Amino acid sequence: MSSLKQIKLAQKVAVQQQQVIGELETLVKDIERSEKTIIELKAELEAVNAKHQNRNSTREDIAYLTDLLKCANRKLAWEKQMASLQKRTPEILNHMSKLVNDPASPLDQQTYAAIIASLQRVQSAMERLQSVKAS
């Protein structure tokens, strides 16, 4: 029979495990949002270049540069988003690793499967983002 202290500890660990799964899912969504943003940004930049292809006046040059500046501001926001992801990801993975490798509180099969599935979604999202960045 488990003591009250052991039950409370098990509940605390279960909550932490669910939090890590939630953090991994949030990470996936943020990576997907970054992927979507860079795709939109590339399309927007192509549209700006096509729209302002034949500039003949200073006014047209200014319009082109204004549109480019808007793209640059969006890219700067995307870069900040990427920096945040790069900072958060190791922290989340480190926290997950500690929970998974804790001998005092082993994972149940369902939680283990959920963590593995979340990690696979993170990996897949990161691969898609990397391929978009490379193209």
- Tens-of-pLDDT digits for all 135 residues of the chain? 568 887 888 888 888 889 999 999 999 999 999 999 999 999 999 999 999 999 999 999 999 999 999 999 999 999 999 999 999 999 999 999 988 888 877 888 898 899 999 999 999 999 998 998 777
Q: What is the pLDDT of residue 11?
A: 86
Distance CA 51, CA 107 (A): 56
* CA 72, chain centre distance (Å): 21
pLDDT for res 42: 95
pLDDT at 135: 76
Which pLDDT score is estimated for 80? 95
Q: How many CB atoms lie within 10 A of CB 28?
A: 19
Write down the pTM of the prediction: 0.84
In the chain, the amino acid numbered 38 is I
Q: Beta-carbon neighbour count of residue 110 at 10 Å?
A: 8
* Whole-number pLDDT of residue 133: 79
- Give pLDDT, residue 101: 87
Assigned token pair, 135: 């193209």
- How many helices and strands, by DSSP H and E, does the chain display? 3, 0
CA distance 135 to 47: 17
**Cβ atoms of 71 and 41 closer than 8 Å:** yes
How far is the CA of 28 from the CAs of 43, 57, 59, 74, 112, in angstroms? 23, 46, 43, 21, 18
- pLDDT for 13 equals 85
Three-state SS letters, 24-43: HHHHHHHHHHHHHHHHHHHH
Two structure tokens written together for 132: 């978009």
